[in-house]
């Protein structure tokens, strides 16, 4: 679980971070458990999703994100760090945003997928991501987002180094934290 296991050479994160062919790394990695039986966080699943997005749209994952998500949110200044092996942007890590731009994601979640009157993601998808069957420690996980256990309909994006975006609908609030805690264990929200 990325919240409690420090990153190191034994962690699968580094295997795909150093892989020269991310698609092949995703396709050749064995599942840790039978689907639907247990939960184990894996950033490699996000890499796999990025490859599906590239196939569907016929362009790079980063271009799709810019066109479909970042531009409608008014996010212009960002950086996506490359994986060492492939040189590709790390779909599961390495996105650098300002706190203000991170907050725009939270506002979009609070507003049922809309930002400044534009529907960016479907409300149905937002409803589904709050229905995790898998809970790890104090948080559930589904559709690449964490559900905040003690907050009704709360949802969070959790990044390496203790980066958090937390949307709390019943309080109409968004909390953003940025940090650089890469060497010690993170704590759940």
User: What is the C-alpha separation between 146 and 154, in angstroms, rounded?
Assistant: 9
Q: What is the mean pLDDT of residues 55-66?
A: 96
User: What is the C-alpha separation between 126 and 131, in angstroms, rounded?
Assistant: 9
For the segment(s) 12-177, the CATH number from 3.40.1120.10, 3.40.710.10, 1.10.10.10, 3.30.1340.10 is 3.40.710.10
Q: What is the mean pLDDT of residues 82-90?
A: 84
Q: Which residue has the higher pLDDT, 29 or 68?
A: 68
List CB contacts of 31: < 8 A, sequence separation 6 or more: none
pLDDT at 32 over 50: yes
pTM: 0.79
Q: Which residues of 7-46 are buried (b: 16+ CB within 10 A; e: fewer)?
A: beeeebbeebbebeebbebbeebeeeeeeeeebebbbbbb
For residue 172, the model assigns a pLDDT of: 93
For residue 83, the model assigns a pLDDT of: 84
For residue 4, the model assigns a pLDDT of: 42
What is the distance, to the nearest Å, from the Cα of residue 127 to the centroid of all Cα atoms in its chain? 17
Q: What is the pLDDT of residues 106-135, one digit of tens each?
A: 999 999 999 999 999 999 988 887 776 555
DSSP string across the chain: -TTTS---TTSHHHHHHH-S-HHHHHHHPPPSS-TTT-----HHHHHHHHHHHHHHHTS-HHHHHIIIIITTTT----EEPBPTTT--B-TTS-EE--HHHHHHHHHHHHTTTEETTEE-S-HHHHHHHT--SEEETTEEEETTEEEETTSTT-EEEEETTTEEEEEEGGGTEEEEE-----SS-----
């Amino acid at each position: 679980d990325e919240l409690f296991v420090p990153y190191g050479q034994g962690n699968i994160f580094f295997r795909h971070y150093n892989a020269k062919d991310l698609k092949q790394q995703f396709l050749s990695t064995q599942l840790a458990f039978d689907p639907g039986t247990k939960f184990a966080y894996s950033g490699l699943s996000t890499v796999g999703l990025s490859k599906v997005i590239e196939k569907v749209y016929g362009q790079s994952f980063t271009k799709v994100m810019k066109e479909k998500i970042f531009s409608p949110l008014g996010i212009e200044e960002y950086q996506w760090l490359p994986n060492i092996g492939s040189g590709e942007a790390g779909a599961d890590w390495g996105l650098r945003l300002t706190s203000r731009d991170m907050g725009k994601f939270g506002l979009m979640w609070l507003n049922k997928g809309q930002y400044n009157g534009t529907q960016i993601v479907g409300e149905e998808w937002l409803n589904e991501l709050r229905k995790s069957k898998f809970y790890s420690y104090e948080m559930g996980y589904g559709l690449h987002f964490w559900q905040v256990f003690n907050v009704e309909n709360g949802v969070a994006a959790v990044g390496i180094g203790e980066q958090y975006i937390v949307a709390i609908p019943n309080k109409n609030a968004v909390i953003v934290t940025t940090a650089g805690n890469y060497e010690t264990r993170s704590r759940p929200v």
